[in-house]
Homo-oligomer: A and B are copies of this chain.
Amino acid sequence: MKNLPHKTIERLSQYRRALLICAAKGKTHIFSHEIAKIQHITPVQVRRDIMLIGYTGTLRKGYNVQELIDLIGDIIDTKEGLNVAVVGIGNLGHAMINYFNGKRTKLSIVAAFDNNPDKIGRVFSGVRCYHIDEMAGIIKQDNISIGIITVPAGSAPEISEKLVESKIKGILNYTAKPVNVPNQIYLEEYDMITSLEKVAFFVKTHISDNS
């Protein structure tokens, strides 16, 4: 059960988000095909994911919404939660802090770092911005496990190195530049340009299919 596929982890996070909305509406049970509809995937996929985490619904009644929320929480959350830092408080970094702030979750953005003197010491949506040189100290002091990189792409490798030196456990890199980290640090990268170009490619091929 400890070896859940990466894709399953992603979907569990999404299921939970959908389930929380259902719970808020007072829905107590849900069928696999209902979850599937929301996520636009197949019901089999949903059942399989739920099987993998060892939960069992009731036949003809579906899954108990609250139980499933709790179980997903047991799997993807830590009891005490994890602390997160954002590095690079430009447009994207600021948007992230603002967005996450207020979402009740086990993950808290507790610090920000930048190298621009105008930003140091300021508080953005409740999160204080420190100078990048204070990183190691603050990460240790505040027990920060995850760093989100939103500096300009060119500075990403340097920042990633600093995060590694600061003993970060996981990195989420939003710049267009891939970074290298030691194996024991979990790295997730996402590049918006790539996504947009991917959409463009499939739009292009669809268009030429139809004509």
Contacts and interface: CB of A to CB of B under 8 A. Distances in A.
A59 interface: no
Interface in A52-84: 75-78, 82, 84
Q: Tell me what chain A mostly uses at the interface: helix, strand, loop, or mixed.
A: helix
B10 A200 contact: no
Interface stretch (A22-30, A114-122, A132-140, A202-210): A202-210
A91 B102 CA distance: 15
Contacts of A169: 203, 206-207
Nearest to A150: B95
A180 to B, nearest CB: 6
B9 A201 contact: yes
Interface of A: 2, 6, 9-10, 13-14, 17, 38-40, 75-78, 82, 84, 90-92, 94-96, 98-100, 103, 105-107, 145-146, 148, 169-172, 176, 178, 180, 184, 186, 188, 190-207, 210
A199 B186 contact: yes
Contact of A178 (B38, B197, B201, B207): B38
A192 B190 CA distance: 9
Contacts of A178: 14, 38-40
